[in-house]
Structure 1
C-alpha cells in the first residue's frame, strides 16, 4: 500500500511539473527560469519566495515555485531528474532511507548530521547541500510559559520531576515510533508522563488552551508557540534528531549560474527560529501572503530595497 501511495504521489508530482510553464524558456531580460519545489508546510514556502525575490532583484533570471509537494523524498527525486533546481530541505532527511545503513551514522549532533547530509547527497544525487539558513524545525516538547515560570522549567530534564502528574498530547505516530518515539524517550530521559494521548495537531493546542493537556509535542517553529505563549523546552539530553534547514541546489545549475550560488550563500544564517516562527505566524495565523512576508523580511534585513 505504501508503494502504491508513493507511486500515486509521484504521478501527481509529474503532472504538476508538466504543467510548469517557465522551464527551458528565457525571461524577458534574457535570463533563465529556475524551478523550485516546496513541501506543503509554510517555512519552505516562505524561503522559496525569499529566493525568488533575491534572484529577481540581483539577476536577469526568475524562479518558478511549485508548492505543496507532499513529501521531501518526492522533491529529491524531482531534483535528481532535473525537474527541480532548488529546494529547502532539512538535515534529518539524511536518515530517511536514501542511503545504505552502513553509510549513515545516526546522531543527535546537529553539525554531524548536517555534514553527513552535505557529503552523501552530493555523492549520490550531485546536489549541493548548503550550510544552515539559521533555524531548525525539529520535534520538541512545549508547555505554557506561565507554568514553566511557576515551576522553573527550562529543559526536558526539568520536566521529569513533574511528569508523573502530567498528561502530554502528541500525534499518534510519536507514541508508536521506534528510535525517536515515546518509548525511546522514556528510556533516554528516565521518566514517563501520567498519560500520553494521541490526537490531531490542532486538538493538541486546543487541549493546552483548555487545560486538558499539560504538555504537547510540537515542531520548534509552530506558529501556535507564539500565539499561545508557549515555552519550548531545551532538549538538554539530545534525544530528538536534528532538523536544520538548508537550501539545496543541483551542482550543474550552480556551475552554469554562479550568481545563483552567491545568492544562496547570502542567505546562510539569515533567519533564526524565533524569526521563522514569527513569519509562519504572519502567514498561518494572520493570513498574510508568503510572498509579502518574505519580501518584508528581506527589506528589514537590508537585502532588498
Structure 2
C-alpha cells in the first residue's frame, strides 16, 4: 500500500528548498548565468494519470544540474510527477554535479536525471568508462544500490563525445559516415577542431585517433598543424565555418542541427556511454513504487534526436526550458493542457 512521505523527509525538504533556491541564484549570478524559475505550466493527465490511492499530501522533490539539457529533463520530471498527483518541490537548476549528487545521497531530493558515465567516473571514482551502453548501465545500477539510489532503465539518449562533419565538406570528402572513414581520407583532409580539455584527456583526442588507426603528430596520421585547439563553445561555429572538416561535439547539443552538422558513427566503440536515466532514492520508490511505471513510460522517447531539438529551442531560439518540456510532454501525449 502506498504511504505518505515521512515527517523526516518533509522537514528536510522544506528547509532545503529555500536554501538551494537562494544559493543557486547567487552562484549563477556570479557566473553570469540566469537562474531558471521553479515555474512550470499547469498540467492535466494524459497517458500519465494520477496514481490510484496516492495520499493527498504525497510529495516529491526533483533536482537537476544547471545546464540546458538538465533543465529540460528536470521540467519533464516535474510535469510528470504533477500529472501523477504529487505536490512537487522543484529543486532543478542546482550548480554542479557534486551538489546534485549530495542532495540525492542525503535524502534531501527524491529524484534526478543522471548520466551513467558521470556516475561511474565522477561519483563512483572508476578510472575508465564503459563504451557498451547496457554494460555501463548495469555496472552503475548495481554499484549505487549501496548508496540508497535506484537507477531505472536508461533512455536511448547518450550524451557523449562525438565527431561531427560540416555539411559543406561532404561533397569534397565523399562518403564519410563513421570515424573509421577518416583514415581513408588524404592527410590534408584530416583536419580537426577540438577543445583543450578533450585534447589533453587520457580518454580524449589522441587515444581516439589511435583507436581508429591514426597517430596524432605523425606526418602520415594527423599532423599537429591539422588540429585547431579552441576555447569551450567555439568548436561548433569554427567547424561550420570551415576552419576544420571535423569538430568535437556532444551528441545531444542543439547546435548540431542548427548548424547542419552530421555526427559520425563511433563504429569502434571508443567513447564511454553517457545514457541518461531516472534515479530515485530507494525510500521514495519504496513509498510509491508506481513512480517507476510513470518514468519508464517516458524514457524510450528521450533520444539524441529529440533532445537536440529541445536543446536547440532553448539555446538557439531562446525559449524557456519549462515551456519546451511542457510542449514536448503534450506532443507525446504524456500530459494534456488543463
Q: TM-score, normalised by structure 1?
A: 0.84
Given candidates 247, 250, 253, the residue that maps to 1:219 is 250
Aligned length: 281
Match of 1:10 in 2: none
Given candidates 195, 215, 218, the residue that maps to 1:171 is 195
d(CA) in 2 for partners of 1:198, 1:204: 9
Confirm whether residue 248 of structure 1 aligns to residue 274 of structure 2.
no
Contact kept? 1:148, 1:231, Cα under 8 Å: no
**1:255 Cα deviation after fit:** 0.8
Match of 2:84 in 1: 58
SS of the residue aligned with 1:276? Answer: helix
Moved more, 237-246 or 33-42: 33-42
Contact kept? 1:144, 1:208, Cα under 8 Å: yes
SS of the residue aligned with 2:234? Answer: helix
**1:201 Cα deviation after fit:** 3.1
d(CA) in 1 for partners of 2:192, 2:278: 34
Aligned-residue CA RMSD (Å): 2.4
Matches within 5 A, 1:90-109: 90-99=115-124, 106-109=129-132
The 1:81/1:294 distance shift into structure 2, 3 A limit, reads: same
d(CA) in 1 for partners of 2:104, 2:64: 12
Given candidates 110, 115, 119, the residue that maps to 2:133 is 110
Match of 2:46 in 1: none
Matches within 5 A, 1:232-243: 232-243=263-274
The 1:259/1:149 distance shift into structure 2, 3 A limit, reads: farther
d(CA) in 1 for partners of 2:326, 2:161: 28
**1:19 Cα deviation after fit:** 6.8
Any stretches of 5+ residues in structure 2 without a counterpart?
Answer: 1-16, 25-37, 39-54, 215-220
Confirm whether residue 88 of structure 1 aligns to residue 113 of structure 2.
yes
d(CA) in 2 for partners of 1:291, 1:208: 31
Contact kept? 1:140, 1:219, Cα under 8 Å: yes
Confirm whether residue 268 of structure 1 aligns to residue 299 of structure 2.
yes
Match of 1:144 in 2: 166
Confirm whether residue 160 of structure 1 aligns to residue 189 of structure 2.
no
**1:70 Cα deviation after fit:** 1.7
SS of the residue aligned with 2:154? Answer: strand
d(CA) in 2 for partners of 1:120, 1:14: 31
Given candidates 305, 315, 336, the residue that maps to 1:284 is 315
1:78-116 CA-partner distances (Å, limit 9, x unpaired): 211112211111111243254465xx8853111100110
d(CA) in 2 for partners of 1:196, 1:148: 19
**1:17 Cα deviation after fit:** 6.2
The 1:295/1:269 distance shift into structure 2, 3 A limit, reads: same
1:253-289 CA-partner distances (Å, limit 9, x unpaired): 1111234333222222122111110000011111111
Any stretches of 5+ residues in structure 1 without a counterpart?
Answer: 1-12, 23-28
1:286-305 CA-partner distances (Å, limit 9, x unpaired): 11111111111111111112
Matches within 5 A, 1:9-48: 15-16=19-20, 30-48=56-74
**1:183 Cα deviation after fit:** 2.1
> Larger radius of gyration, structure 1 or 2?
2
